[in-house]
Amino acid sequence: MASEINIKTEHYALWWEQNCAVLELSSSEGTNILAMARVRAVLAAIERLDNEAQRGNVKALIITGNDRFFSAGADLNEISQLTAAQALEFSRAGQALMLAIDRFPVPVIAAIRGYCMGGGMDLALACDYRIAAPNAVFGHRGASLGVMTGWGGTQRLPQLIGRARAMQMFLLAEMVKADEALRIGLVDAIADDPVAHAVCFLGGVHDPLR
């Protein structure tokens, strides 16, 4: 099973830790930007993992990035060149990715290091748990750029941290560091190595909420 599904592509790497699938976002410039091609590739990987989870071959899914970026969010340069029809297609592709994560049949944990911005934060919000490294930074900067997410973050964030606090983050394009994110309930735990912390939790070693 592990040898069959371990993959490294231009969009992500996939490997196994104690029957947990670890999907690491990757991009050539290191920001893990969610361009259309990456959204589609990650969606296809998660759909394949969904099938394996339904067969009992996957205990959990951990989504992570690199030390500096979980994900910088959507590719604004790409978005600025889309036609109306292409923009609708891109929005639907992003929504499909978030729904695939939200509806995944086993727990999904976002292991977040560095910047988690815009569509990247939408992705983290679609997960069941969020474990942050001390250097994690969260934000939805769309208001400062004249755009707003269409990938479900405007619905999931208020459900998680309350409407007033979510509106503050959205409208002020606020950047929130890991300790504040933990205080307001945006993340469930802070750990130096969030992937290892997630694997230990899923193996029954400890609870990520502690």
Q: Mean pLDDT over all residues of the chain?
A: 88
**The pLDDT of residue 143:** 57
φ/ψ of residue 182, rounded to 5: -70, -40
φ/ψ of residue 113, rounded to 5: -120, 145
- For residue range 150-194, list pLDDT tens digits in order: 687 889 999 999 999 999 998 888 999 999 999 999 999 999 999
Alpha helices in the chain (DSSP H): 2-5, 36-54, 76-80, 84-102, 119-126, 142-145, 153-161, 163-171, 178-184, 194-202
Classify 2-138+175-202 by CATH class: alpha beta
Domain boundaries, the chain: 2-138+175-202
The pair of three-digit structure tokens given for residue 160, joined into one six-digit string: 């998680």
Residue 134 and residue 100: Cα distance in Å, rounded? Answer: 28
Distances (CA, A) of 17 to 36, 56, 64, 123: 28, 15, 13, 21
The pair of three-digit structure tokens given for residue 157, joined into one six-digit string: 């964030």
Region for 98 from its dihedrals, namely left if φ exceeds 0, alpha if ψ lies in -120 to 50, beta otherwise: alpha
- For residue range 96-150, list pLDDT tens digits in order: 999 999 999 999 999 999 999 999 999 999 999 999 999 999 998 765 565 666 6
206 DSSP 8-state letter? -
Residue pair 139/121 in contact (Cβ under 8 Å)? The answer is: yes
**The pLDDT of residue 73:** 86
Nearest to 120 by CA among 105, 145, 103, 101: 101
Residue 139 and residue 51: Cα distance in Å, rounded? Answer: 32
3-state secondary structure of 176: strand
Residue 162 and residue 82: Cα distance in Å, rounded? Answer: 33
**The pLDDT of residue 3:** 36
* 12: pLDDT strictly greater than 90: yes
Question: Longest Cα pair distance anywhere in the chain, in angstroms?
Answer: 50
For the whole model, what pTM was predicted?
Answer: 0.90
Nearest to 94 by CA among 120, 63, 76: 120
